[in-house]
Copies of this chain bind each other. A is one copy, B any other.
């Protein structure tokens, strides 16, 4: 469909209240997994981010590695070991993850943003010791739990007008580099930034009461309702820790957390700049 100029103007002017609501505020976007799979989608997401930055939102992009990590591990002939069914991230694997995240994925995203007219700086949890971590379990190798967030560098980057693009690795005082879960990292960073919103781009449409019916989408969840949703098996499996991060964020000062479908083009814009939410929003408590 081709829009008339008049249509365009109308759409822009209708976005005004939303733009006003977020202008000058900090929004952390967690981007990873299947939402990252196609180049077209990546392109669309980066376009959205540049737009948000241009209209005055302080956007922070926290990314995971998506399918690139396992592909590279395979190419390099590494075999994955398991202990009691849990993947072991040995030193070599950790290094591959670091290379893919900080080298390929991070610079790739920064490059797209640059070409779309945005200004981005790709950093990691090691830069400015942004994320410090401890071992979760030494048996499992270099997988860390965030123990400290030094947000100064991220704020410097935002203040000087750049978009921080953050790879989720972390460091400690002994020189170790850890792989960190991107959802956790994004939540911790959003908390440290006192963000207005954290948007988690996933490959689901949101929380569904009936998993086979997208019309059963739960639009808003208060933090206190989550345990019930787990008990009712509406939140299950891998969604439990993800939702845990959302709750952690809203309980620690982030105003709103959105789980949205990253596979839908421009889902961030739709969520932030139109009047109709498309995923599930978590809040500490609904305003009455």
Where the two chains meet, the residues of A that have a C-beta atom closer than 8 Å to any C-beta of B are 1, 3, 5-17, 19-20, 23, 44, 47-48, 50-51, 54-56, 72, 75-77, 95, 98-104, 106-108, 110-112, 114-117, 119-124, 126-129, 153, 156, 160, 162, 169, 171, 173-175, 177, 265-266, 269-270, 273-274, 276, 278
Contacts and interface: CB of A to CB of B under 8 A. Distances in A.
B47 A13 contact: yes
Nearest to A50: B16
A15 B13 CA distance: 12
A58 to B, nearest CB: 13
B16 A15 contact: no
Contacts of A265: 6, 9
5 contacts: A5-B276, A56-B56, A102-B106, A112-B175, A123-B123
A162 B171 contact: no
Contact of A128 (B44, B103, B120, B127): B120
A166 B278 CA distance: 40
Given A8-B14, A98-B104, 16 more contacts: A1-B7, A8-B15, A8-B269, A9-B266, A9-B270, A9-B273, A10-B266, A11-B11, A12-B12, A12-B273, A20-B50, A110-B124, A121-B127, A123-B123, A128-B162, A160-B160
A127 to B, nearest CB: 5
A7 B13 contact: no
A255 to B, nearest CB: 18
Contacts of A23: 54
